[in-house]
Chain A
Amino acid sequence: MINKLFPNKILSLNNKFFIHLIFLMISVIIIGLVYALLISPPDIVQGNSVRIMYIHVPASFIGISCYTFMGSISILSLVFKIKVLPYIAKSIAPVGFVFALVSIISGSLWGKPTWGVWWAWDARLTSMLILNLLYIFYILSWKLIKQFEKANKVSSFIAVIGLLNIPIVKYSVDWWNTLHQTSSITLSSAPSIHYTMLIPLLIMFFGLIIYSLILILMKYKIEILKLKLKRNKDY
């Protein structure tokens, strides 16, 4: 799988490969949605608003994970100057941004009926907003700086420094009093979420992770194609 990320190999991921992945993703998401929206029970306190969680939690997870990957790849890219790395990081950014945005919007839609407010300036929500801003800065620095080398340096540096925000997003609910609840699923203890709700959540996790992978691979393929096109023009 990893060697497919080399510029020549990514082009061998043809439409057939993507169609298979898309088919898998759509079936998983349909199963997940049917389970989440129809089969799984409402929560005794939140009622049907609990169903927002099935989108919100995976979206937040993907938003945070994408940034972590983007930042780590940027470190490698800054240190080792491997040519394909900036293109991989660049392809992850918009996908992570969209999911981080979905996380904020869905969270807001959940907040109104449960908390009674759309937004609160608590540590989790604020650090998640900062994550969104970091994505915007990163993407903008690629768009606004025309010179590739310079854009690469600036955006990678933003991505690396922004990595510091990741543990803050993750642990904000444990470090400070926040309105946002602590994590229901942790590695150290049993999930505090009933299995009838946990199963659809995990299915949605799986479906949305495949979805983000498809988007990242497609974007990366386009970046490489663009690069080849430009090279051909130059010669």
Chain B
Amino acid sequence: MLSKRARTRLVFLGISLLFASILTFFTLNALKSNIVYFLSPTDIYSQNDLNFNKKVRIGGLVKEGSILNQNTSIKFTITDLKNEIFVSYEGSIPNLFSEGKGVVVEGMLQDKKYFLADTIIAKHDEIYTPPVIKQIIKENKN
């Protein structure tokens, strides 16, 4: 069905696509640590060669009941439900920042358990809920 020339072109295109995908795969693999937007507390715990002078991002949930407001600064705990890291931050906070919600903090690790943040980014999950549902959950809880 295919003419000979069409088949040659198909093979050529197939091979170039194959090479390009292998190249892309290796590039992405090599850049993995840069592509990952944030590390989880468990990632931090399991890393042995932590660089404390480099900026990092850590993401997870804000632990329930851990937020401590002190004048202009705020302290809270980030958890991935396995490990936790204490975060200290000074500055403005995004509206969506709250207990039990996702958060990404940017700054310097002081040690494996203590993080000094200079930016807080709220993370939103893929769940969209209208107020009605909140009402129902509230009623069911009572």
Contact = CB atoms under 8 A, between A and B. Distances in A.
Nearest to A197: B128
B124 A192 contact: no
Contacts of B13: 75, 78-79, 160
Interface residues of A, number: 41
A115 B37 contact: no
A182 to B, nearest CB: 5
Interface residues of B, number: 41
Chain A's interface: helix, strand, loop or mixed, by majority?
Answer: loop
B94 A44 contact: no
B126 A181 contact: yes
Contact of A177 (B20, B39, B95, B120): B39
B77 interface: no
Interface of A: 40-46, 50, 53, 75, 78-81, 113-117, 120-123, 160-161, 163-164, 168, 176-179, 181-184, 192-194, 196-197
Interface of B: 6, 9-10, 13, 16-17, 20-21, 24, 28, 32, 35-40, 59, 93-97, 101, 104, 119-134
10 contacts: A42-B131, A44-B131, A46-B96, A115-B123, A116-B120, A117-B121, A123-B37, A160-B13, A161-B17, A176-B35
